Structure 1
């Protein structure tokens, strides 16, 4: 295992791959910086460009971006009081008051350093999980893999927030879109409407960009003007780093919380910051959380980046995307000729280990980059949304068209994009739709293989029963944890 890790390190340090990692880091910082964008939007923009790339290069780009999104989103959260992404909401509670006191650089110094440490801990957790997961996952056959896809689909309820029913319906809609084209088990075409373009199904990059990025484009056009009128910047980054070092146990505890929450599919960035914030509020003595306490920044920022390492475990090793971002990453693996599951621990182990190294390096370099560019980067938040739209629109059109080089991609992009915008207006969750789309064909394929090989006896398989129990436990436990985090959120806001 150590020899494989060293081999993967040399692969990652190849100059051509480092260039792509730094490109991903730069994109991730900008995506986190711009309020309204998120990891799903950034990933959907990048996905078409990894098609056909060398897996090491493609993963360097994608993981480099994922690793630092929750580092870049610190800027609007602290400077403007606006969450850059859903995972930076709790940072506002103490980061923005610190900024109003003229201590924005101190808050950002602590946040960037904690993000770096949390990301490194997440990468280590991913590495340590591999030896334990390998003997388990390599013993899985089609029935167990089918139940794993069911586990991924069951996350639709958790990703729906307050309305699990909406999440389930959204996931079913994703299944319907994913079933367009040739069937994996029988020689027939479905929902093609006698159109040659649809016989190959709908392209994953087109669906991902349409469902997440298209609504953002419309929102930016309708919400004119910049998001802030002023922001005070003073020196104090080093002071923030020292604050983090003084609270090293809080940093470590919060990072562990982030890893554990990342392990649970369906929770992710929308709740991990509040859970870490609430845990810090209960364990830190003489705190003034909500009034500009630096420890209120340290706790959620440590957990945010650590969560990414934890969330990659079910995504890479079991093929279970627990969020929209990891669902797109799962699609990225497919576009590069990889398959999540047993192969990531056997024939493609070097790719998995390269992801670990990339996650660690990207967190370190991303945090250092943010510290260096605090003043110039913060000015981007003042750019009006309508001036950013043309650049995003060009990327979207190019990305959609190059999927299959067909005009049908652009038509589907607009149609599904309008669907995504309607879902946004009606407050329907979009990540479940993408998860349903990604898992539609694998679920059907594993189901038919199980039936053909074992009849209905596979239902009595102990591992199948165990996974069914896990689905029930995660759904019930996830609902409880969401309610727990909501209580802290309401308490913090009040």
Structure 2
């Protein structure tokens, strides 16, 4: 297999294929820069062009885009507090506060360097697990997938800060929103109020844009100040790179988590950055600064979201089970090029799989370098006065909301959810739990229904279920005791000040 890996490198470095890879990188970075768009949209645009194309060339184009979408989407997340895509939501928590302090370059430097390292680790993981992938994929049945969805929901307590009860309510509200539309197991529609638009459910981009983007626009108009307070920038991207190197174990751990989470079909796409962020906050010392501009809050999710793509390709290529929305479209691209996902990609078509690994790694490196070179000019967006910036962003966000289904209902829901998000921000209520609950609602319900219909109550005794359940209890318990310890410490400090 090692010999095939190095033989394939010569194919990947063919000038024509390198050209298509750079085209994919350029398009991927552009898609990432535009708030509300996603890798799924970009892949949909490219799909017609790969019809009948040589598989090595076509995959260079598609993988080039997949590799860097979650690199480019860091720009709007850090500079504007707007999620560039579903994989960059957690970066807002600390990236945007850093930009408000004038340290946008530092945050972006750390983000892009960690994205590069995460992408490389994701490619390496994809290579290493190929010989063992079949038993690993088949080990996850519906009970284990349901428990993994609950594991994602357990992050709600960690991300709710001092308001865990409100966080839980917000998570349940997100799950309720996620159940709108067609039921996953029975032929019925729920909470649609006979509005045809809601039959397919609420699109995820509307939830993300409404909760995070709309409040930013309102606050910018009210404050009448640029995003970077004082309209100046300090620091450089080199400082962010040094921060990443000083937290190298966090980078490696988050990248490994991203690759593993992406490997689980249907789980990783919109959750991996929150999982990584929550675990980083839970396990870090002096974590009171998380959410206020802590560079570790940028390093963790950015390391994970690019590594996730390597993990997501494992079930996609080996079994035709997409690990994310972008890899689902990748399956269609394979069919258009006369290929089919399955065991043959590790036997007769092994060189194609190796070319995908090489492209994933090379594209991550060049994508990160391109972003680092663009930091200085693009970071100046954070110093632009709201009177000039807000109208442009408003048009961009409305277009981004409308493109989700090209229905006027997109704009109405964007405004409604935006108002809810703005109210929650004014009340200092956590908004992240809504996203987590929304993303996991459908998969959790589906896997729970399948588990009961196939196994009855016996699935509760499966070893994998028990292991994940213990992990969930440990996370919830540690979150409870951590919050309790902080309250006791705060009370003691308050008494000390009064005395």
What is the TM-score normalised by the length of structure 2?
Answer: 0.65
- Cα pair 1:70 1:115 within 8 Å, conserved: no
> Could you list the per-position Cα deviations for residues 405-437 of structure 1 after superposition, in whole angstroms to 9, with x for gaps in the alignment?
221222112111211222222222223212222
Match of 1:189 in 2: 189
Which residue in 2 is equivalent to 1:306?
A: 303
**Structure 2 unmatched ranges of 5 or more:** 48-58, 81-89, 262-271, 288-293, 317-322, 333-339, 488-499
Q: Name the residue aligned to 1:164.
A: 164
Kindly provide the CA deviation profile for residues 151-188 of structure 1, in whole angstroms up to 9, marking residues without a partner as x. Answer: 22222222323333232222211111111122222232
Query: Residue 119 of structure 2 contacts residue 310 of structure 2 at CA under 8 Å; is this kept in 1?
Result: no
Aligned residue among 4, 20, 26 for 1:22: 26
Residue 123 of structure 1: aligned partner: 122
| Residues in 2 aligned to 1:353 and 1:16: alpha-carbon distance in whole angstroms | 17
User: 5 Å matches for 1:172-187?
Assistant: 172-187=172-187
CA distance 1:389–1:27, shift in 2 (3 Å): farther
8 Å Cα contact 1:175-1:433 kept in structure 2:
yes
Separation in structure 2 between the aligned mates of residue 478 and residue 336 of structure 1, nearest angstrom: 38
Identify the residue that residue 259 of structure 1 maps to in structure 2. Answer: 255
Q: Please state if 1:140 is matched with 2:140.
A: yes
Report the alpha carbon displacement of residue 51 of structure 1 after superposing the two structures with TM: 7.2
CA distance in 2 between counterparts of 1:379 and 1:464 reads 49
User: 1:134/1:22 Cα in 2 relative to 1: closer, same or farther (>3 Å)?
Assistant: farther
**In structure 2, what is the equivalent of residue 491 of structure 1?**
none
The one-character-per-residue Cα deviations of 1:12-32 (angstroms, maximum 9, x if unpaired) are 95644532422333565x68x
Aligned partner of 2:430 in structure 1 is 429
1:46 aligns with 2:38: yes
Contact 1:47 / 1:205 at 8 angstroms: preserved in 2? no
Output aligned runs, 1:357-376, within 5 Å. 360-370=361-371, 372-373=373-374, 375-376=376-377
Q: For 1:356-390, what per-residue CA distance to the aligned partner results, in whole angstroms no more than 9, with x for missing partners?
A: 65664454334433554565445333211332222
Are 2:445 and 1:450 equivalent residues in the alignment? Answer: no
The answer to whether structure 1 residue 415 and structure 2 residue 416 are counterparts is yes
Aligned mates of 1:210, 1:109 — CA distance in 2: 24
Q: Given the alignment, which residue of 46, 58, 65 partners 2:69?
A: 65
- Distance across 1 between alignment mates of 2:418 and 2:345: 34
Mapped partners of 2:152, 2:75: distance in 1: 27
CA deviation map 1:121-172 (0-9, x unaligned)? 5435643664466522322222222222222222222232333323222221
> Using the alignment, how far apart are the partners of 1:347 and 1:478 within structure 2?
45
| Inter-partner Cα distance in structure 1 for 2:284 and 2:97 | 9
Q: Output the CA distance in 2 between the equivalents of 1:274 and 1:463.
A: 23
* Secondary structure of residue in 2 paired with 1:268: helix
Equivalent residue for 1:208? 208
Partner Cα distance (1:211, 1:182) in 2: 23
Coordinate RMSD, CA, aligned: 5.2
Listed as ranges, the gaps of 5+ residues in structure 1 are: 32-41, 77-82, 280-295, 320-328, 487-494
1:73 CA displacement: 8.4
Number of corresponding residues: 425
Report the secondary structure of 1:202's partner residue: coil
CA distance in 2, matches of 1:71, 1:419: 25
Query: What is the deviation of 1:205?
Result: 2.7
C-alpha distance in structure 1 between counterparts of 2:108 and 2:437, whole Å: 39
SS at match of 2:217: helix
Q: TM-score if structure 1 supplies the norm length?
A: 0.65
CA separation in 1, counterparts of 2:45 and 2:149? 26
